[in-house]
Structure 1
Amino acid sequence: MVAADRNAGGIRGQKAVFVGPHQLLRPLGEGGMGQVYLARSPGLRLLAVKVIRPEYAEDPQFQRRFQQEVEAARRVTGFHTPPVVDAEPRGRRPWMATAYLPAPALGEVILRFGTFSEAGVRALGAALAEALAAIHAAGVVHRDLKPGNVLIARDGPRVIDFGISRAFDATHLTRTGMVCGTPGYIAPECIVSASVTSAAADVFSLGCLLVYALTGRTPFGSGEPAQINRRVVYEEPDLSGVPGTLRPLVASCLDKDPARRSTATTLLGALAPVDPGALLSPGLLAELDARERQAEADLAAPQADPPALPVRTWQSLSRRGLFGLGAGLGAGAAAAVGVPLLLTRRTRPTGSAATVGKPVDAWGVDAAGTGSPPAGPEPLWSKPITGMTVDHQLSLLGATPVWWNEGMGAVGYDGTTGRQAWSREDAQFFQVQNDLIYGTSLDFAGLVWLNDKAESHRSPLVVPAAQRDEAAMSLRVFGADSRTVVLARETSLTGGGIVAGADLGSGAVLWQQEITENLAVSLARHQDSMLSGSGSSMGLVADGRCYFEDSGVIHAVDLRTGASRWQATGVTSAGVPSRLLRTGGLLLVVHGLAVVALDPATGQQRWAAPATPQPIFGCALGAGRLLLSGAMGTAYCLDVTTGRGSWHTTVGVTTAADRGADYQAPSAGEGFFGVPLPSRPSGVAVLDAADGAIRWVVNSASDEGRWTTAAKGGTLYCASATTLRAFRAGGA
């Protein structure tokens, strides 16, 4: 990926950026594996280019599998699969380009325009069966057929993303042992044995899609992924709402035994004849018209010449080079969303960390020293902890560190001695906000919140009784003041949901607003982003207003009435959730590689920070400074008053075993930042907030998994799956 010298036709008017010979125009979205951009080929064709995330890109096993899948995808023919046009599977940032279709995904169509008729579902099923028959004939198994991977175009549905799923799964499974795919669409044999790959698994996913297109839900319900997967393996599908004429065919797709399922070819014959026009509602036709007009405008945008040879390709950059586009390079200010910084001088870590010298560019990247940092002090206290070993969280309620697990109980500890102060198992907790921890009662009939002494408050739950089971696992509190609480919940497995303001005393709904973007993505990221002052990836409450993002638009609404105060566009892009923070008279929006400050009263932009060279995984706010933790063990700090970069530090060396693992959020204390290490053994680095110098590092080879941190004053609390520790890290 290289940048042209002249400013023409690039992303949002910035310098032109190329992937291979293709000019990137704007971001289209983001997935767990990479970012997708709209691009224009030298022959003036629009392409969808997926650029692989750096944590996967340098893994040799991934590159081999990705190359095999690209070659297999190129063999796939058929009307219902966009062709692979170009690819570079073995570069520093592998990519693949397919023909671009200006069409919405099935999930968006169902959410916005409603479910299909029986005739429409027959047309959809026939098209997908034809696509699967072509994919399977080429020796490829899709493995992730879901509403987001089916586009509904004017001339018929298309199946996308079939060329990379196996490469991703092979790499991810060897690291985590997790089941890959989308709950509710994964075949039971793939859940029981993650190594199983067969064409019959795609047929099972197709059956789930047909039920979804008819009813707006999956045949195995909603909830936690583990709950859905258990139903897929052990329970019969819910086919209520499926017409009797289609029920035997759908049931055959959903048979637990893959040998008894229909094949794609058999399904195609059983569904014919079909009426393709039954898919096209008036609302969908209007949406397709708008997308096609936008595609014409994209194609007509000013062109830029590719850089003169020789160029610096990804392959020619050193392993530690920081480069390329990350998530969310869409709308925004020039400094924040232009061509990312291509560093000429880099930190060079020795051991597990490196120190920082004087700044030489926008982020102070030069490293003026080597050697290992000092070892950390002995903890003030150390407490063994047991019980919640998966996805545990560490937060502070006032001065009380609380160790908890989403959807389970919580335990509070004395911050001075480490003695257990209280334990609550009578509620399922989901969120920490304003020194309170929020959750629901076990029967999901009431909203519960606790203070640092575990004193309980309760309010009726603002979800109809008939929807509580479905809503319980997706409910989140992302803001509250003394009178009002704002909640969000999913209303669809494939995206969309509701943001609602409710009175804390009565539970009465004061206002609600539909969210059209994929709320499930935001919910999945929300908890990590809220820890340690990282900001909410859904929204926040401050100044008597609620701020939230939907489809690339930042909204500010009155907290009690829901009335719109302002909307800001051009700051973010749809499909890439942002983090929102409020500090010092500014609303900060952290998006992809960018940080933009808005006036909270008007939504006008105050400043835009320089783009970070690495995607941002977490952030922490303290004493007028914002720390951004990124890939490859990097940490970037900016002054929130001016938006200028202050310093950059590398806090750890990333190994092959680390790539693909979760990055925990940093935390801010009095004059320091605590940053969990992205390397093994697990541990934490304490950075000086003024200059980024690493004060000390603590490692523990005996603790499994990454540490989570929380800070209060000069104390840093660290929790692993087995131990809670407190360290003196800053202050007097």
Structure 2
Amino acid sequence: LKVIRPEYADAPNFRGRFRREAASARRVSGFFTPPVLDADADAPQPWLATAYVPAPSLHDVVSGFGVLSEAGLRALGTGLAEALLGIHEAGIVHRDLKPGNVLIAEDGPRVIDFGISSAVDATQVTRTGAVMGTPGFMAPEQIVSSREAGAAADIFSLGCVLVFAATGRGPFGSGGATEILYRAIHHPPQLEGVPAALSPLIAACLDKDPACRPPAASVLTALGAADPAALLTDGLREDLARREAHAAVLACAPPVPVVSLTPPVDPFARAPGGPSRRRFLWIAAAGTTVAAGAGAAVLAGWPSKPAAAPAGDGTGSTGRPQPKVPAGPKPRWSVPLKKLTNGQLHLLGAVLVHWEQRRAIAYDTETGKERWTGSLRLPSGVSGDPKWLGVRGPALFASAWSGERGYLVGVDAAGKQKFTHAVTEQGADAQFADFVESILSVAGSVAIVGTSGDQGYGVLAVHLGSGKVLWSRRVKGSDFQAHARGSLCFLQDNGILRGLGLRSGAERWKVADVIKPGAYPHLSTDETTLLVTSTKVQAFRAADGEKLWTAVNETTTISPARVHGHRAYLHDGPGTVFALDMRSGQQAWHTASPIQLTTTGGAQDQGPLVSSSVVAIPTWATGDTPGFIVLRPADGKTLWAHQPSGDDAKGKSSWLLQMSGSTLFAASETTLYAFRSDTP
């Protein structure tokens, strides 16, 4: 039973969308989709009921019983394709096909949660500018805009689900949502471990161009006849038998009395006075309800809002009392920002560089006046536009590619192009040169660069003066990190942490199993101690890799640690800010933020902004109006917060922070501000 929270139901045009979606869902026919039994769009809280399937999700099957064989994959793919065929013929796009929305029953798979996806998605997109779906299973066009997601987006998700079933991971790696979404748009899928016979079909489903993907009917034909029994193992059969027995008990139980319940924090809650014309089994065995089509909400190009929050008043607030935080000072100046997609902000000398992949603009730190727009002179033969990589050390970096060479380009604070270095070359076997994908770190005159190509991913050390590649090495996947400081480069690859000579690349030490699969850590150091931050903070001696201490050990991702002096500053998802002693890992202080903090865990998340006078962190404020909070680094005391309201809050859904001296620079999507940072 899916029941809509009041704030969604009260959105303009929602009930009409819900009614149309529910009517379409009831027309879906086919063995591999549970039927929609009834729905009411006019109830105080609209609801929709589907038949109960006593079976585990594909996610639970792979986690508990292992990946599927080729025969099992064919059975899964056949069932999913047939389900999508019925869904699409009814005029519905699922939009959130993922392992959690596929149940593995004894007689084949079932696709669930297709009933109200468009209505909910349209409401969310209208309200927040969000793109609805689940990172790792969303098509590129869906990431850009849910309104553009058609039936071909479900085929892309089908390909992602099959890769997961074959390998236990998605085709675009793990980590923060921003990183996964970026790879889905720009990187080829990783199909290692997929049976060779199925690889071409799955690759076609994962084509970036929706017009090149096969329709569901073609997928069904390509897979051929399949036996649902190939999905079953002894352990799964036992699990299914237990669920069947439990369902039989539920079906014989007396009706549950109707009671009023306080709305839970989930987007969908059990309605007081739900359907009374017939008795339904709850779709979740424990009695909780789940959202159809409501996967992780991901702001297009911006970090996603934390999904969980304390119970609130049903109006979208975080549930905390209205925080009494001193208001921030008036800005020294503010200027309009030119609109960028997935923009980032960083200081470069006397300018603030605001950049995205295709554009970079510099603003004067004293006045906010626009100083220059990035423009590059590129070698002949370069294919396409250059890609801005961001500011590291003394330069704004960009990359370009000609097929035969991959180039690293540098621009100084005045906007002048300082160098163009060819750092990758075409191989002897006529393969294309690797792409220069990222600038990972800069230490002195050496840049650590991330690359990708036909042979996979790699890391290069480049001398910025001469352009010479000092060393290179391949890494096992896309979820690697590198951080350089002093004479060392620290590399995390597939859970293995290495200390390398910065200029030689020689391995000084290695530590295995530093992180669990699926974690996306961040590296930071004061040159003596190296910190690895994911769901906990682990400290290693930089010189030899000896484990020193572990702190803030939690179950969810925490922010990257920002090192300043002898302390590291970070915060967790619930909103506690920590200051840790770099030598011992002991807490110098911890403070529960009075406002919900922003944690993304992605590669672009740099953690708290820290200076000698302030710790500044972006927030999700009460009423879903983001801003930022400023703390005192000595003891964690809250100094002030910037929380725009009314007209001033329009178009400002996320914030980027930078610091120069006593000036705190803050950028929303629309405006750049300069504040006196240490104002009490």
Give the TM bin, normalised by the shorter chain: 0.5 to 0.7
Residue 334 of structure 2 is matched in structure 1 by: 382
Decide whether the 8 Å contact of 1:710 with 1:716 is kept in 2. yes
1:600 aligns with 2:542: yes
Deviations, residues 11-70 of structure 1 (Å, cap 9, x unaligned): xxxxxxxxxxxxxxxxxxxxxxxxxxxxxxxxxxxxxxxxxxxxxxxxxxxxx99x999x
CA distance in 2 between partners of 1:497 and 1:258 (Å): 26
1:687 aligns with 2:631: yes
Decide whether the 8 Å contact of 1:145 with 1:202 is kept in 2. yes
Residue 438 of structure 1 is matched in structure 2 by: 397
Report the alpha carbon displacement of residue 566 of structure 1 after superposing the two structures with TM.
Answer: 0.7
Letter in 2 for 1:692: G
CA distance in 2 between partners of 1:714 and 1:561 (Å): 39
Q: How does 1:373-452 map to 2 (within 5 A)?
A: 373-386=325-338, 388-398=339-349, 400-426=350-376, 428-441=387-400, 446-452=407-413
Decide whether the 8 Å contact of 2:82 with 2:217 is kept in 1. no
Choose from 405, 429, 446 the match for 1:484. Answer: 446
Deviations, residues 442-492 of structure 1 (Å, cap 9, x unaligned): 8685311233333432232323468879835xx111123344322113347
SS at match of 1:631: coil
Report the alpha carbon displacement of residue 145 of structure 1 after superposing the two structures with TM.
Answer: 7.0
TM-score, normalisation: structure 1: 0.55
Change (3 A) 1:97 1:560: same
CA distance in 2 between partners of 1:104 and 1:259 (Å): 25
Report the alpha carbon displacement of residue 130 of structure 1 after superposing the two structures with TM.
Answer: 4.9
CA distance in 1 between partners of 2:114 and 2:579 (Å): 35
Q: How does 1:644-723 map to 2 (within 5 A)?
A: 644-654=586-596, 665-679=607-621, 680-701=624-645, 702-703=648-649, 704-723=652-671
Choose from 511, 514, 518 the match for 2:474. Answer: 514
Deviations, residues 333-369 of structure 1 (Å, cap 9, x unaligned): xxxxxxxxxxxxxx99642x4xxxxxxxxxxxxxxxx
CA distance in 2 between partners of 1:105 and 1:391 (Å): 37
Change (3 A) 1:606 1:664: closer
CA distance in 2 between partners of 1:166 and 1:469 (Å): 46
CA distance in 1 between partners of 2:628 and 2:407 (Å): 38
Decide whether the 8 Å contact of 1:633 with 1:677 is kept in 2. no
Decide whether the 8 Å contact of 2:578 with 2:591 is kept in 1. yes
SS at match of 1:378: coil
Change (3 A) 1:729 1:201: closer
Decide whether the 8 Å contact of 2:434 with 2:454 is kept in 1. no
CA distance in 2 between partners of 1:726 and 1:516 (Å): 42
Choose from 77, 86, 107 the match for 1:128. Answer: 77
Decide whether the 8 Å contact of 1:499 with 1:513 is kept in 2. yes
Change (3 A) 1:125 1:561: farther
SS at match of 2:590: strand
CA distance in 2 between partners of 1:102 and 1:194 (Å): 37
Q: How does 1:127-276 map to 2 (within 5 A)?
A: 128-130=77-79, 132-133=81-82, 175-178=128-131, 180=133, 186=139, 194=147, 202=154, 256=211, 261-262=216-217, 266-268=221-223, 270=224
SS at match of 2:435: helix
How many residues align? The count is 504
Letter in 2 for 1:598: F
Q: How does 1:585-664 map to 2 (within 5 A)?
A: 585-592=528-535, 594-611=536-553, 615-654=557-596
Decide whether the 8 Å contact of 2:424 with 2:434 is kept in 1. no
Decide whether the 8 Å contact of 2:562 with 2:606 is kept in 1. no
Decide whether the 8 Å contact of 2:155 with 2:215 is kept in 1. no
Decide whether the 8 Å contact of 1:410 with 1:429 is kept in 2. yes
Report the alpha carbon displacement of residue 541 of structure 1 after superposing the two structures with TM.
Answer: 0.9
Residue 729 of structure 1 is matched in structure 2 by: 677
Choose from 465, 471, 478 the match for 2:435. Answer: 471
Letter in 1 for 2:420: S
Report the alpha carbon displacement of residue 98 of structure 1 after superposing the two structures with TM.
Answer: 3.8
CA distance in 1 between partners of 2:68 and 2:601 (Å): 29
Change (3 A) 1:125 1:503: farther
Decide whether the 8 Å contact of 1:687 with 1:694 is kept in 2. yes
SS at match of 2:543: coil
Report the alpha carbon displacement of residue 600 of structure 1 after superposing the two structures with TM.
Answer: 0.5
Change (3 A) 1:673 1:166: farther
Q: How does 1:280-291 map to 2 (within 5 A)?
A: none
TM-score, normalisation: structure 2: 0.59
Decide whether the 8 Å contact of 2:558 with 2:571 is kept in 1. yes
CA distance in 1 between partners of 2:459 and 2:594 (Å): 38
Report the alpha carbon displacement of residue 586 of structure 1 after superposing the two structures with TM.
Answer: 0.9
Decide whether the 8 Å contact of 1:612 with 1:636 is kept in 2. no
Decide whether the 8 Å contact of 2:432 with 2:454 is kept in 1. no
CA distance in 2 between partners of 1:582 and 1:430 (Å): 22
SS at match of 1:262: helix
Letter in 1 for 2:411: L
Report the alpha carbon displacement of residue 539 of structure 1 after superposing the two structures with TM.
Answer: 1.3
Report the alpha carbon displacement of residue 673 of structure 1 after superposing the two structures with TM.
Answer: 0.8
CA distance in 1 between partners of 2:534 and 2:183 (Å): 32
Deviations, residues 253-278 of structure 1 (Å, cap 9, x unaligned): 9995999652665444x4689xx9xx
Decide whether the 8 Å contact of 1:576 with 1:591 is kept in 2. yes
Greater relative contact order (CA < 8 Å, ≥ 6 in sequence): 1
Change (3 A) 1:573 1:685: same
Report the alpha carbon displacement of residue 619 of structure 1 after superposing the two structures with TM.
Answer: 3.8
Residue 302 of structure 1 is matched in structure 2 by: none
SS at match of 1:128: helix
Letter in 2 for 1:471: F
SS at match of 2:672: strand
Gaps of 5+ in 2: 1-44, 103-107, 173-178, 189-195, 231-260, 266-317, 377-385
Report the alpha carbon displacement of residue 506 of structure 1 after superposing the two structures with TM.
Answer: 4.5
Choose from 487, 491, 497 the match for 2:457. Answer: 497
Report the alpha carbon displacement of residue 555 of structure 1 after superposing the two structures with TM.
Answer: 1.1
Report the alpha carbon displacement of residue 389 of structure 1 after superposing the two structures with TM.
Answer: 3.2
Change (3 A) 1:255 1:690: closer
Decide whether the 8 Å contact of 1:715 with 1:728 is kept in 2. yes
Change (3 A) 1:451 1:144: same
SS at match of 2:643: strand
CA distance in 2 between partners of 1:571 and 1:180 (Å): 30
Deviations, residues 166-190 of structure 1 (Å, cap 9, x unaligned): 9999577574432636789739799
Report the alpha carbon displacement of residue 102 of structure 1 after superposing the two structures with TM.
Answer: 6.6
Decide whether the 8 Å contact of 1:584 with 1:641 is kept in 2. no
The alignment-based identity, stated in percent, is 24
Gaps of 5+ in 1: 1-63, 78-82, 86-95, 107-119, 151-157, 233-241, 277-314, 320-346, 354-371, 523-537
Letter in 2 for 1:564: E
Decide whether the 8 Å contact of 2:572 with 2:599 is kept in 1. no
Decide whether the 8 Å contact of 2:524 with 2:531 is kept in 1. yes
CA distance in 1 between partners of 2:210 and 2:656 (Å): 42
Report the alpha carbon displacement of residue 517 of structure 1 after superposing the two structures with TM.
Answer: 3.4
Deviations, residues 578-611 of structure 1 (Å, cap 9, x unaligned): 111111621111121x112111110001222232
Q: CA RMSD in A?
A: 5.7
SS at match of 1:617: coil
Report the alpha carbon displacement of residue 125 of structure 1 after superposing the two structures with TM.
Answer: 4.8
SS at match of 2:78: helix
Decide whether the 8 Å contact of 1:628 with 1:635 is kept in 2. yes
1:568 aligns with 2:528: no
Decide whether the 8 Å contact of 2:397 with 2:408 is kept in 1. yes
